[in-house]
């Protein structure tokens, strides 16, 4: 389930192309979004991963008011259908099981078309789509430090996540 949140690229240095274990959690990230779930039986620590513990994992504090996602994956697909967004370079617009466009056939990394203003931050539609498509019982925190740089906190069945805002 959380593998979809890993980078499709194998990188040098910190490898985020596969999930990794730190303490009692299994993490997946591509550098712009990170999710964590409780470590499962058989999940083993590995070398070369970023340090997720320095991020704002404060989901259990009373500062949060939890609300529904701003858009569902269906609503995002409708938005994508009515905008001219170039096709995905990797699957040439075919979609299906493409790890770059999550089956939409669209270039979801195209920053000209893929962002919305929400909770005082610019948020990437690609990640809102992925969150709603892959996770169950998602709620987003309304907490924001007013800098526009504060990660968007979200929680889902058996896990938590952070979405980095766009510039």
Sorted by sequence, the CB contacts under 8 Å of residue 11 that are 6+ apart come out as 17
Residue 84 has pLDDT above 80, yes or no: no
pTM: 0.84
Q: Band of the pLDDT at 101, cuts 50, 70, 90?
A: confident
Helix (H) or strand (E) holding 38: strand 33-38
Q: Residue 161: its pLDDT value, please?
A: 95
Sorted by sequence, the CB contacts under 8 Å of residue 47 that are 6+ apart come out as none
pLDDT digits (tens, 9 = 90+) for 42-55: 887 777 777 888 88
Are 129 and 5 in contact by the 8 Å Cβ rule? The answer is no
Parse the chain into domains and list their residue ranges.
Answer: 2-163
Residue 11 has pLDDT above 70, yes or no: no
- What share of the chain in percent tops pLDDT 70? 93
The dihedral through the CA atoms of 155, 156, 157, 160 has a sign that is negative
Cα–Cα dist 110/107, whole Å:
6
Are 51 and 18 in contact by the 8 Å Cβ rule? The answer is no
Mean pLDDT of the chain: 84
């Amino acid at each position: 389930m959380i593998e979809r949140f890993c980078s499709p690229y194998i990188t040098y240095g910190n490898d985020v192309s596969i999930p990794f274990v730190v303490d009692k959690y299994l993490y997946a990230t591509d550098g712009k979004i990170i999710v964590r779930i409780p470590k499962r039986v058989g999940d083993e620590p590995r070398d070369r991963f970023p340090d997720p513990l320095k991020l704002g994992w404060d989901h259990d504090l009373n500062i949060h008011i939890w609300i529904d996602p701003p858009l569902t994956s269906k609503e995002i697909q409708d938005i994508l259908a009515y905008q001219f967004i170039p096709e995905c370079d990797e699957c040439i617009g075919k979609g299906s099981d493409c790890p770059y466009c999550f089956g939409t056939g669209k270039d979801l990394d195209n920053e000209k078309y893929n962002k919305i203003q929400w909770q005082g931050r610019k948020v990437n539609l690609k990640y809102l789509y992925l969150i709603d498509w892959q996770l169950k019982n998602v709620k987003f925190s309304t907490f924001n430090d007013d800098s526009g740089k504060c990660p968007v906190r979200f929680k889902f069945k058996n896990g938590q996540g952070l979405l980095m805002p766009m510039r």
